[in-house]
Amino acid sequence: MKAALAVMEKDLRLAWRDRAGWLTAGSFAAISVLVYSFALDLAARDVRPLLPGLLWVTFLFAGIISSGASFHGEAERGTLDAQLLAPVPRTALYAGKLLANLVGLLVVEVATLALATILFDEPLLTPELGGILLVGTAGYVSLVTVLATLGSRVRARVVLMPVLALPLLVPLLIAAVRATGAALGEPAGEAPWLLLLAVFTVWSAVGSALLFPLAVER
């Protein structure tokens, strides 16, 4: 656990020094929500049924941008190879990077929700939505972190990340959108979407932790 926290602290410190990836992700999320607010204002009177989908699509691409950028920097500097030589379990290294990406992305998402609350005049900063956001983001980051590791040494990493991530994240996105809609008072059927989201998150975290030692091998 100490090793994972040390890796998380190191990654957060580096992310603060080199903020290009996270600033790009935050700018993308803010611009997307701003554009959606103008587009939906012209197309629909009640935007609440559309909010879950547009929010999670925004979070999806913001996470791909930020996670890909963080691993790209480590691959360029060679720090990832140096970390692999440290006498710590590979799963601890994965856990630290996952936590760092989770913290960074949650900051972007909370700021995006605050902006969306103002633009759409809908209460989005609620405890229920916060729980859904935390569970969904944890499952999403678990998978994207290991996929970013796979693509960190590939020249076409910018193209590879969405191609790898999007098909695997479809179940999570469906469950997250439906659970978010239910939290906003929209009909979501009788399926336990939040439970399905939690199951996918556990599967993603466990599977990615097991796959990470293989992913970092050349």
pLDDT tens for 192-218 read 888 989 999 999 888 888 888 777 765
Position 93 scores a pLDDT of 82
Position 77 scores a pLDDT of 63
Position 114 scores a pLDDT of 92
Distances (CA, A) of 127 to 51, 107, 120, 121, 132: 17, 16, 19, 17, 9
pLDDT in tens, 13-58: 877 777 777 788 888 899 999 888 888 776 566 778 888 888 999 9
pLDDT in tens, 95-151: 888 888 888 889 999 999 999 998 888 888 889 899 999 999 999 888 888 887 765
Question: Which residue reads 């920097």 in tokens?
Answer: 73
Residue range 5-12: mean pLDDT, rounded: 78
**CB-based contacts of 25: which residues, under 8 Å, 6+ apart?**
62, 63, 65, 66, 69, 105, 108
Position 133 scores a pLDDT of 92
